[in-house]
Structure 1
Amino acid sequence: MAEKDRIYKCLNPVGIELPVKTYPLAPRLDTLKGKTIHFSITGEPDITIALDKKLKADYPDVNWTQKKSY
């Protein structure tokens, strides 16, 4: 078989992509007043102290809850 008659078969490494069902964004709230916002913090423990104080100072009418797992 001559070099020019060779046939190479290539496979796509991506494979078969199945379609993904998408959903629209939820409607935005007019205000956070009286709402509860929960943070699950897994990062550095030093930043959570400053973050907690800043959020409570900037949004005093919001109930902030946290789960810390360092």
Structure 2
Amino acid sequence: MELWQDEHGVLWELVQFGLDEIGGACIIRERNVLDSLDGDEREGDAVIARFGDPEAARDFLRDEGFEPA
């Protein structure tokens, strides 16, 4: 998992599936901080985008104004 942050402090996570593979499917998700405050960290995750290649996902994040956190 990689954390990316924009200039406003919004955090998106790049999550890759099949970590033993060089490429592989991945998603970009955003966590709802308010849901984690009430004790359920898994509730409220929003999938922003899906990719078949992590490099394409990183390019998307940069285009959206995010940088590695």
Say yes or no: TM over 0.5: no
Query: What TM-score comes out, normalization by structure 2 length?
Result: 0.31
Higher Cα radius of gyration: 1
Higher strand share: 2
